Amino acid sequence: MQELKLPDKLGNRLKEFTEGLKEIYQQDLVSLILYGSAASGEYVSKHSNLNILVVLKNTQQNELIKAVKLVKKFGTINPLFLTEDYIASSTDVFPIEFLDMQENYSLLFGKDVLKSINIDISNLRFQCEQELKSKLINLKNDH
């Protein structure tokens, strides 16, 4: 694991969570990536979560159930379980989210799946426009 700017207690919890996932998924675990404020050094105790991208070979329900106890044990850790195929086919639908991950992340284990994803910047406009129009519709409906 890379050196992170986290309080020791939190760093230890992250390491314990990482080791737990490695033990549960073994060869089916492709990578573990810390992203967001904890990866960028902007983590704020009691306000920030530890966001972790968990890339598995298979994210069917029977695979996800394996980690339920571990995830519940670490309430401040927010795992997002995806496959490489899902990531590759979703950068056009969620460009803001994947661009944010790509700009602030730290590889904890395995393959660096964020390094090679391509995000078409034109899709950022589409996502922003869709979200703004949705909010406008909701505002109009509230009045």
Q: Hey, what are 114's tokens? A: 């964020």
What residues does each domain of the chain span?
Answer: 8-142
pLDDT exceeds cutoff 90 at 122: no
Position with higher pLDDT, 49 vs 77: 77
pLDDT exceeds cutoff 50 at 81: yes
Read off the pLDDT band of 135 (50, 70, 90): confident
The CATH homologous superfamily for domain 8-142 is Beta Polymerase, domain 2 (3.30.460.10)
pTM passes above 0.75: yes
Is there a contact between 19 and 121 (Cβ–Cβ < 8 Å)? no
Q: Hey, what are 91's tokens? A: 């950068």
Q: Which of 54, 123, 115 is nearest to 95 (CA)?
A: 123
Position with higher pLDDT, 22 vs 10: 22
